[in-house]
Amino acid sequence: MPDAALYLTILIALPFVGSVIAAFFPTNARNAEAWLAGTVSLTNLVITIMFLPSVRNAKVVRAEYEWLPDYGLNFIARLDGFAWCFSILIFGIGFLVVLYARYYMSPADPAPRFFSFLLAFMGAMTGVVLAGNLIQLVFFWELTSLFSFLLIAYWHHNQNARDGARVALTVTAAGGLCLLGGMLIIGHIVGSYDLDVVLASGDRIVSHALYLPTLLLVAMGALTKSAQFPFQFWLPRAMAAPTPVSAYLHSATMVKAGVFLLARLWPVMSNHEYWFWIFASVGVLTLLIGAFMALFQQDLKGLLAYSTISHLGLITLLLGLGSPLAMVAAVFHIINHATFKASLFMAAGIIDHEAGTRDVRRLGGLFRAMPITATLAMVAAASMAGVPLLNGFISKEMFFTETIESHGNSVLDNNLPYLATLAGMFSVAYSVRLIDQVFFGPAATDLPRKPHDPVIWMLVPIGLLVLICLLIGILPGPTVGGFLATAVQGVLGPQLPSYSLAVWHGFTPALIMSFVALIGGVVTYFTLKTYLSGNIEGAPVLRRLKGKRIFERAIVILSWRWARRIADIVGTTRLQPQLRLLLLIAMLAALWPLSAGALASGALALDVDWPFAVDPSFVLLWIVGCGCALGAAYQAKYHRLAAVIIMGGAGLATCITFAWLSAPDLALTQLLVEIVTTVLLLLGLRWLPQRLEDTGVRISFGARLRRLRDLGIAIVGGAGLAAIAYAVMTRPQINSISSTFLERAYSEGGGRNVVNVILVDFRGFDTLGEITVLGIVAITVFALLRRFRPARVSVEAPRQKRFQNQFDADRYDAPKAGIAAHYMIVPGLIMRLLFPVVAMMAVFLFMRGHDAPGGGFVAGLTFAIAFILQYMAGGARWVEARLRVLPVRWIGVGLLVAAATGLAALVFDRPFLTSAFQYADLPVLGRVPLASALVFDFGVFSLVLGATVLVLIALAHQSIRIYRAMAAAKAAETDAIEEAR
Amino acid sequence: MNNLAALPAWAALITAFLVLLGAGLALIGNIGLIRFASFYERVHAPTLGATLGMLSILAASIVCFSALQTRPVVHEILIGVFVTVTTPVTLMLLVQATLYRDRLEEKDPLEKRAAGDTAA
């Protein structure tokens, strides 16, 4: 086949592409959706069939794409006979299910979601079977779990659907996680994740010391997916899904992924007694429990679900036996089970649709009402029971033969034939029950609807599948022989064990077992018939074994109780302990290198010789600065206003220090930051409730102790930080990068202001990140303050303001609007007139930034101060009536401009944020440097301005919104008083 | 950095005189701040430094840098304008605040008080 790689890729990609397209169809486009999904599955089916010559006789088709070649991980699509057989199931049954779903889904159901998920699942499942790489297999494996979750919860208004989906996802995805672990160990043992390399590794995995953990992890993955004991409970709960989903995912394909995986790894992992013990015992347990439970189900789909579990157990058991012949039987039964179970599910869906109920006890005599459906379902059920001349009979016969064979002579092995016959009996019994109670007996009278056969297109998929059951059952050799051989060769290699596909093998022990099971099953059913029709829920004895209940308890304990307890112990919602923890951890981290002996070696000793002669006025400045800092800390609790003002003093001391040490850029920035933060803090103080210094409550000893502890933490932390700073600054700098910056600022960045060149050029990417953070912070502050509700005590105007208002009201006949009108006339006028001046100053600082102290950040802050002045002079309403204040837009423009400048460099084939510069002669301004960094700096300017103003208006608007809050508070108070009466 | 040694003697003399004059005026204003009794009186004292004192120092700056750079340097005029425009605003707001405070405490603004209990 030419272009095999391309077609293999199409097999995986096409369903996903279809899924995306399907998602965009109108809600009620059932026909279009079905056409799309049908075309996708049919196309893939045809492609798969065309691959048949390429995969015969154990040949393999591969398509490899580089993914992470450094890690030995490539995306590999790999098709062998076994994967081919599964692909036929996926696309063939997928097509029939799509056809069926077109008529099953009601017009009220949103069709795009259903078909989109279904196609995506089809792609994921194809990815699993075509995976040529173990990691890739796990990836698609988890995808199938995810889409199964989404499909089970399709009717998400239904509580059962949601719960079932959650349980299914938790169980199968947890299994997938284990599987990933197992695959990683296999990759470690073999040295490659490539499936072909793994399959060619012979006995290396089995003989490796890590075989048992690997096996357990892989088993966890396979057993959860295939709903094996003790994980079987998720499958019946998944029956809340729409029936096409149950037919497709939960009988024909997804649940087979577990056994698919076991078969896949069978050649390299099964040659060990652990394999036999785990899978044979789990398989036989599941087979028995599933069949037994199925007999006692009252829900038609529940019955089929338990039957599916039982049949999957049968396949697991066959795979666990570890003989090639059992492998043949397993593959054969996978095919057969998919055909008869999918058709039975579809029939169950029709019955549910037509009769309005799935309760087996309420149904009855449907053969007269819907003869075609009944006939088809009965044939499929007979196949499930293993009646001769149907496909189920042949694979069951092979199964019985295999159980008789000896596989190690253990207790389990010796008793297998009896257990298998017992399970066969139950299987027959529930099949007979299904046929008898649903289709025969007295016609049900109290059905919600009057049942009749559905439209022909709903019956066609079932009919086709039943036809296959019959054909395989009557003429197994010609119909399925080649197919089966191809599939088995994919696993076992070209040498097939000798087996014969025939209906009649003579009077073998297996035939006797079959007949014992058939007769025993019929007898069992008719013995229990009255009991079953009674008011029972679930099987006797095993009813108490509620996997679901245990699972839910475990989930509640794990994800709720323990999680909460841990959160209670190690977490807190209070700010103070969080900060304390943060500080303590930081201090411990700083102490860590000291404890390693570095302190003793003298490497960290502080150089106490003053490195420079100290100017007395500088010392005085620092005494004032430190005094301010201490005063601010001292006043912070009860006199916040004083604390904020004194903080400004400390800031000014820092500012002068910068200027003193010849850092005009820093001094300028510090000054502006100080102004802006002080104003914003003052605005915020208004909304904090007042703290009373003397509340009359005696401070307890514990509280005093806590305060002392916090004081200690503060002193140690601050002193430590000071020591670190001192130690760093008094040490000679080794390989400092600063000299490079100084040398290159002008030659490469085109600016004489090194600080600015570093910000906008050398470290432009850092700056971009920083302004992004700044923008996010500003928007977050704004969002938080929009929802801010001040404390009750802060809602009312403060005492001072009320006093002033009272005074104004007494003094003036017609009170004008607020303080601004009376007391701010002259200052307000001057502030307003200063707006263009300050703005000009900002432009000046911005333009000269590349060569002299200034730049976008400083200019942005200056411009923001111009706005702050306007707000102070006129109030928020006055300013916003006259100026267009759009800080969010400014932030956006700033970020876009900065990023676009960086990207522009890419156009010229330079790295991101490379800057270009040259001088230009402009009118009026003269010769100015024009670096592309200037545009970037404009972005910084705009963002800083926007962020500052946004925070400003967030605070300023509180006093506008507060009137609403006051009204609400008053209303609440009135209500409370009313209630009190 | 400009080399102060390059400053001609005449310019150095004028600069020194003007700087000292400005500093002296500011000092006098600050002494007044301590000596005056009430807040309303005190408001006036520092203006000596903010007006005449500032003007002297700015003039010194103009002389000094014009001589050094051998071209007229008059940036200082801007400083003068802005300080002159903005200082009254500060003072007006301070006085308004004090008036408010006196009303709150029901004191007569014109009443003489001992220094110390009117600190803002």
3-state secondary structure of A735: coil
Asked if B104 and A800 come within 8 Å (Cβ–Cβ), the reply is yes
Q: Which two tokens stand for residue A866?
A: 């111009």
Q: Are A488 and A81 spatial neighbours (Cβ–Cβ below 8 Å)?
A: yes
Q: Which of B88, B93, B100 sits opposite A804 (nearest CB)?
A: B100
Token pair 């039982």: residue? A310
Q: Which of B82, B93, B103 sits opposite A827 (nearest CB)?
A: B93
For residues A647-655, average pLDDT: 93
What pTM was computed for the model? 0.65
* B92–chain A Cβ distance below 8 A for any pair: yes
Strand A926-931 to strand A917-922: parallel, antiparallel, or no bridges (unpaired)?
A: antiparallel
Helix (H), strand (E), coil (C) string for A51-92: CHHHHHHHCCEEEEEEEEHHHCEEEEEEECHHHHHHHHHHHH
* CA-closest candidate to residue A101, choices A43, A41, A149: A41
Question: DSSP 3-state assignment of A716?
Answer: helix
The residue of chain A with its CA nearest to that of B82 is A834
Least-confidence region, from A194-198, A311-315, A383-387, A752-756: A752-756
Kindly report, residue by residue over A787-827, the tens digit of the pLDDT: 887 777 777 777 778 888 787 777 776 555 555 566 788 88
Instruction: For residue A915, give the 3-state DSSP assignment.
Output: coil
Q: What is the pLDDT, as a whole number, of residue A563?
A: 85
Partner residue facing A827 (CB), from B89, B100, B103: B89
Q: Which domain holds residue B14?
A: 2-119
Q: Do B85 and A800 touch (CB under 8 A)?
A: no
Mean pLDDT over all residues of chain A?
85
DSSP A611: S
Which SS3 state, helix, strand or coil, does residue A691 take? coil
**What is the pLDDT, as a whole number, of residue A604?**
57
- Are residues A670 and A655 in contact, defined by beta-carbon separation less than 8 angstroms? yes
Is the pLDDT score of A1 beyond 50?
no
Chain B residue numbers touching A800 (CB-CB < 8 A): 100, 104
Backbone Cα Rg of chain B: 19
Is the CB of A803 less than 8 angstroms away from the CB of B103?
A: yes
One DSSP character per residue, B39-107 reads HHHHTTTTHHIIIIIHHHHHHHHHHHHHHHHTS---THHHHHHHHHHHHHHHHHHHHHHHHHHHHHTT-
Reading the block at residue A558, the tokens are 């794990």
Please check whether residue A871 is in contact with residue A879, taking contact to mean a CB–CB distance below 8 angstroms: yes
pLDDT at A722 over 50: yes
Q: Is B88's CB within 8 Å of A826's CB? A: yes
pLDDT higher than 80, residue A925: no
Of A649, A657, A890, A659, the C-alpha closest to A775 is A890
Q: What percent of chain A has pLDDT over 70?
A: 92
Q: Does pLDDT of A596 surpass 80?
A: no
| pLDDT, position A813 | 63
Among B78, B84, B89, which would you mutate to test the A interface (most chain A Cβ atoms within 10 Å of its Cβ)? B89
A831 lies within 8 A of chain B by CB: yes
Select from A807, A823, A826 the Cβ nearest to the Cβ of B103: A807
Helix (H) or strand (E) holding A228: none
Question: Does B104 contact A at CB distance below 8 Å?
Answer: yes
A539 pLDDT tier (thresholds 50, 70, 90): low
Q: Tell me: pLDDT of B116 over 50.
A: no
Residue A372 DSSP one-character state: H
Phi, psi of A131 (to 5 degrees): -65, 130
pLDDT attached to residue A926: 64
DSSP state of A299: B
Q: Pick the residue of A822, A823, A848, A872 with the most B CBs within 10 A to test the interface with B by mutation.
A: A823
B89 neighbourhood in chain A, CB within 8 Å: 826-827, 830-831
pLDDT given at position A41: 94
Residue B38 pLDDT greater than 50, yes or no? yes
pLDDT given at position A505:
77
Q: Which two tokens stand for residue B19?
A: 């700087």
Rounded Cα gap, residues B81 and B58, in angstroms: 11
d(CA A346, CA A183): 36
Chain B residue closest in CA terms to A828: B89
- How far, CA to CA in Å, does A415 sit from each of A280, A406, A516, A544, A888? 12, 10, 16, 26, 77
* Lowest mean pLDDT segment, chosen from A303-312, A506-515, A909-918: A909-918
A501 vs B80, more confident = B80
Helix, strand, or coil here: A921?
strand
Q: Which range has highest mean pLDDT (A242-251, A734-743, A921-930)?
A: A242-251
Mean pLDDT of A872-876: 83
Residue A547 is predicted with a pLDDT of 64
pLDDT for the residue B1: 44
Q: Which residues on A lie below 8 Å from B104 (Cβ)?
A: 800, 803
Q: Give residue B118's pLDDT band: very low, low, confident or very high (50, 70, 90).
A: very low
Contacts of A807 in chain B (CB under 8 A): 103
pLDDT tens-digit readout, A128-149: 999 989 999 999 999 999 999 9
Residues 6+ apart with CB under 8 A from A70: none
What percentage of chain B carries pLDDT values higher than 90? 31
Mean pLDDT of A501-505: 77
State the helix-helix crossing angle for A456-474 and A476-492, rounded to 10 degrees.
Answer: 80
- Which residue of chain B is at minimal alpha-carbon distance from A827? B89
- Give me the residue label for tokens 């960086």: A902
* CA distance readout (Å), A839 to A184, A432, A833, A844, A870: 63, 91, 11, 9, 12
Looking at A79-83, A279-283, A607-611, B47-51, which range is the least confident one? Answer: A607-611
- Verify whether the Cβ–Cβ distance A834 to B85 is below 8 Å: yes
How much is the pLDDT for B2? 53
**CA-based angle A303:A306:A307, to the nearest 5?**
80
Cα(A484)–Cα(A470) distance, rounded to whole angstroms?
Answer: 16
For A107, the token pair is 């017009």
The reply to whether residue B85 touches residue A826, judged by beta carbons under 8 angstroms, is no
Mean pLDDT value across residues A181-190: 92
How far apart CA A469 and CA A96 sit, in angstroms, is 15
- The pLDDT of residue A570: 78
pLDDT at A440 over 70: yes
Counting beta carbons within 10 angstroms of the beta carbon of residue A479, is it exposed (0 to 12), middle (13 to 18) or buried (19 or more)?
A: middle
- ipTM of the complex as predicted: 0.84
A301 and A345 in contact (C-beta within 8 Å)? Answer: yes
| Distance in angstroms (rounded) separating the CA atoms of residues A847 and A934 | 8
Report d(CA A948, CA A408) in Å as an integer: 79
- In this complex, do A826 and B89 lie within 8 Å of one another by their Cβ atoms? yes
Cis peptide before B72 (omega within 30 of 0): no
Distance from CA of A684 to the nearest CA of B (A): 20
Q: Is the pLDDT of residue A31 over 70?
A: yes
- The answer to whether the CB of A877 falls within 8 A of the CB of A957 is no
Q: How many domains does chain B have?
A: 1
pLDDT tens-digit series, residues A262-281: 999 998 988 888 898 899 99
Please check whether residue B86 touches A, CB under 8 A.
yes
Q: What's the CA gap between A781 and A793, in Å, rounded?
A: 23
Cis geometry, peptide bond prior to residue A509 (ω within 30 degrees of 0)? no
